[in-house]
Amino acid sequence: MRRTRARTPAELVGADPEPEFRLTFDGRPIRGLPGQTIAAALWSAGILTWRTTRVHGRPRGAFCGIGACYDCLATVNGRPNQRACLLPAEPGDIITTQEGDGHAALEG
């Protein structure tokens, strides 16, 4: 039996990805890769939840992954209610856990 070594998807397509970059989640530095969404970067860092529900404060993260369910809402660069599963990660992005509707910190 002939064995072949396992290859990554990038190797299979001959991709040469651009260098990783840094973003932060609740002050913690995490890495992002070109083409990743915010949700994918958070998942890669082992972060599964980044918001709490309005009524009971239950944790939420990505559920559908296509922007239909709104469970993945996050505060990105000070803007609440950003769909993390659709929003491309950019170098220097600042993601914070969104509590409730995301507007409590904006009310004065």
CA 105 vs CA 10, 25, 52, 55, 93: distances in Å: 41, 17, 14, 17, 19
Domain-located, residue 15: no
CA distance 88 to 94: 13
**Which range marks the domain in which residue 83 is found?**
20-99
Domain-located, residue 1: no
Q: Give me the half-sphere count of Cα atoms (radius 13 Å) on the Cβ side of residue 94.
A: 5
Question: Model-level pTM greater than 0.85?
Answer: no
| Total domains present in the chain | 1
Domain-located, residue 64: yes
Domain-located, residue 34: yes
pLDDT band at 4; cut points 50, 70, 90: low
What's 73's domain CATH number? 3.10.20.440
Q: What digits encode the pLDDT tens for the residues 44-76?
A: 999 999 998 888 889 888 888 888 888 899 999
